[in-house]
């Protein structure tokens, strides 16, 4: 079994900000940040580890900590477990969902309707391609996935 790469949390700078997003390559895999609205005397930091889609919601974990360093350490421990149970297909599923969502909002922002929003089942993508319901997912994957 190959060793896991270093935790992406190691790249988070010291706590000069309220929150930091944790990325593994191009995939947002977690957050470490100050909690808001919690009572005095409770843990001030929180962390979340995991991503969805690409994993089951129950695979994602979170916790609280008294300090940034403790939150980062707890995140790193959770990350090792989470990553050991992921495949490249899981990361690809997340990327496809991210590309689909970005494309959908780009369509709406440019005033275009999705094929599913038209009685004909056909539309024109903001890139100019004619798309239909059947080919919509393939078009997004081929023409727009790298842009997301």
107/78 Cα distance (integer angstroms): 37
Give me the percent of the chain exceeding a pLDDT of 90. 78
pTM (predicted TM-score):
0.78
Report whether pLDDT(113) > 90: yes
Other Cβ atoms closer than 10 A to 79: 24
pLDDT in tens, 68-90: 999 999 999 999 999 999 999 99
Report whether pLDDT(2) > 70: no
pLDDT in tens, 13-51: 544 567 889 999 999 999 999 998 888 889 999 999 999
Of 52, 57, 60, which Cα lies nearest the Cα of 101?
52
pLDDT in tens, 118-140: 999 999 999 999 999 999 999 99
pLDDT at 44: 93
């Amino acid at each position: 079994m190959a060793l896991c790469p270093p935790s992406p949390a190691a790249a988070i700078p010291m706590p000069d900000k309220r929150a930091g997003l944790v990325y593994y390559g191009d995939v947002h895999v977690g957050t470490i940040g100050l909690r808001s609205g919690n009572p005095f005397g409770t843990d001030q930091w929180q962390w979340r580890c995991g991503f969805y889609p690409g994993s089951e919601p129950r695979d994602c974990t979170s916790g609280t900590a008294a300090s940034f360093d403790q939150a980062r350490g707890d995140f790193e421990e959770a990350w090792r477990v989470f990553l050991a149970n992921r495949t490249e297909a899981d990361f690809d599923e997340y990327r496809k969902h991210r590309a689909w969502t970005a494309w959908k909002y780009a369509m709406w922002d440019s005033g275009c309707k999705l094929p599913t929003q038209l009685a004909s089942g056909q539309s024109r993508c903001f890139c100019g391609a004619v798309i239909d319901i059947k080919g919509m997912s393939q078009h997004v994957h081929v023409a727009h996935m790298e842009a997301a």
